[in-house]
Amino acid sequence: MIPARSSKRHTPRHFLHLLLFVSAVTACVFGLRVTHGQSTVPGVKTDRAVYAEPALPALPAAGGKFTDPVFGSEIMRATDARDGAAPGLGTFYSHWPTFNCDSTRLLIRKGAMGEAILKGFDPVNFALTGSSETLPNALPGGGGPNWESSVWSTKEPDVIYTFSGYFYGGMKLYTYNVRTKTFTLIKDLGGLSGGQDYLRQMYMSEDEDTFCWLHLRAGENNGEPIAFIVYRRSVDKALFHEDATKYQGGVNEVHVDKSGRWLHVVIATKQPDGTGTRFLNLQTGKYQALVREVDHPPGHGDLGTGIIAGFDNYEDGISLRRLDDARRHTMVLRFQNERGVADWTNDFHGSMLAEDESWITVGTYDEPEANAMPDTHIFEDEIMQVSLDGSQRIRRLAHTRSFVDNKTETTGYWAMPKPTVSRDGRYIAFTSNWENSGRYDLFILKVAPDGAAAPATGPRRNSPR
């Protein structure tokens, strides 16, 4: 099997020189000193005080649990060396679900060669069930599956949508049944191929009808996408197959929202007309193109149903926008301490996989390339949830204890927390290298009842105004 090329989206922040200057002056004026946490009692925090990371709790074997000494959350270590040697195991990315639809199984990235394992999970008793199971690396039609960006079915707890990882297997979409251990071919997109072509980075709508990928060709375009594809299963048709090379710098990612109506086309390079990232209405074929300095295209974050929440490089926080009016945004969180002083050193990944979309779950980490920026030490290395109603409410749930400096295999991209939240909002999976322990592992946080992402009355869609 040829392992899929990693979709590492971790890129340095791009700040304007003027912004850096103003931030530095602000830091000098306010004298960014570290303040102490307001509460010494372990429990979910909702304030903006600085809570330093205490001594590491004793790390149990896989299946063992401990309590976060600051935020009071119960956390389980889900993997250890018995599941795989260093560099370790963890989540794939915050957009791709770790938990299946009823939270009875975990899809876990293993090592550095494209492998994945399954583990059983008991959501009632917060426990692992059974030993780990390595997923197959061969497809019936040849080649191997790309487990990175494979997606659990939203309806069938035994089914994963996956696809061939390299041109050896063609441009094929499959399902894999983890109970019967069988692959089923859903669609062969080989008719769109013009050479040794393959797919990368799959996303799927909530109803399992609309899928999208980047389209690559071995030996061409320096390993970057030559196109992107949107496929709709109900009409068995590629709705869009667009040339990615027509954009300066190419297309970094395409991501369909949960409704299957909108496509987020990530273009990192400023185009001659000043635009970059854009949103495609899959019903009308019309684009909304964002101007970087004016519209602040969202960075790390996630899409929900007709909405996107992501990092704002200009206002230093998390913005929310409706996809039917994507050029307007609302700031739902600013990375500021209790005195209103900004911290420019955090980056994060966000997950909106829960059925309730009134919160985004994020895992922060210190951005190594921003260490010269103003730093108040707020929200450092935390799992937290941010309300999307504009109230600036937060729920701070745990320290990740993940050390990131991008210098080694176990302190780089794959050691970033990249949390995923279960569909019912009761559990959060994240990666941690336990303060540079020499490996990273998967951890699962149990969300306290008063901090659950899903209300007791059932799932609820967020409808920002």
pLDDT in tens, 83-121: 999 999 999 999 999 999 999 999 999 999 999 999 999
Greatest alpha-carbon pair distance for the chain in Å reads 64
| In a domain? residue 175 | yes
Report pLDDT for 451. 52
User: Per-residue pLDDT tens for 61-78?
Assistant: 999 999 999 999 999 999
Report which of residues 107 and 33 the model is more confident about. Answer: 107
* DSSP annotation string for 49-111: ------SPPPPPPTT-EEE-TTT--EEEE---TTT--TTBEE-SBTTB-SB-TTSSEEEEEET
When the pLDDT of each residue in the chain is averaged and rounded to a whole number, the result is 89
Of 2-11, 191-200, 443-452, which has the strongest mean pLDDT? Answer: 191-200
| In a domain? residue 86 | yes
Contact 460, 398 (CB under 8 A): no
| In a domain? residue 233 | yes
Contact 237, 229 (CB under 8 A): no
Q: From edge to edge, which strands make up the β-sheet containing 227-232?
A: 197-204, 210-217, 227-232, 237-243
How far apart CA 282 and CA 257 sit, in angstroms, is 10
Report pLDDT for 8. 43
| The pLDDT of residue 3 is above 70 | no
Measured CA to CA in angstroms, residue 195 lies from 189, 199, 244 at distances of: 13, 13, 16
| In a domain? residue 347 | yes
The residue type found at 357 is E
CATH code, 116 = 2.130.10.10
User: Per-residue pLDDT tens for 254-297?
Assistant: 999 999 999 999 999 999 999 999 999 999 999 999 999 999 99
| In a domain? residue 113 | yes
* DSSP annotation string for 177-237: ETTTTEEEEEEE-GGG-SSSEEEEEEEE-TTS-EEEEEEEETTSGGGS-SEEEEEEGGGTE
Determine phi and psi for 334, rounding to 5 degrees. -115, 135
How far apart CA 256 and CA 239 sit, in angstroms, is 12
DSSP state of 133: E
DSSP state of 414: G
| In a domain? residue 144 | yes
Q: Please enumerate in sequence order all residues whose Cβ is within 8 A of that of 25, keeping only pairs 6 or more positions apart, or say none.
A: none
DSSP, collapsed to helix, strand or coil, labels residue 23 as helix
Given pLDDT bands bounded at 50, 70 and 90, which one contains residue 368? Answer: confident
For 309, the domain range is 17-451
User: Per-residue pLDDT tens for 289-344?
Assistant: 999 999 999 999 999 999 999 999 999 999 999 999 999 999 999 999 999 999 99
How many distinct structural domains can be found in the chain? 1
| In a domain? residue 392 | yes
Identify which of 302, 465, 398, 411 has the alpha carbon closest to the alpha carbon of residue 77.
398
| In a domain? residue 461 | no
DSSP state of 293: H
Q: From edge to edge, which strands make up the β-sheet containing 317-322?
A: 301-303, 307-312, 317-322, 330-334
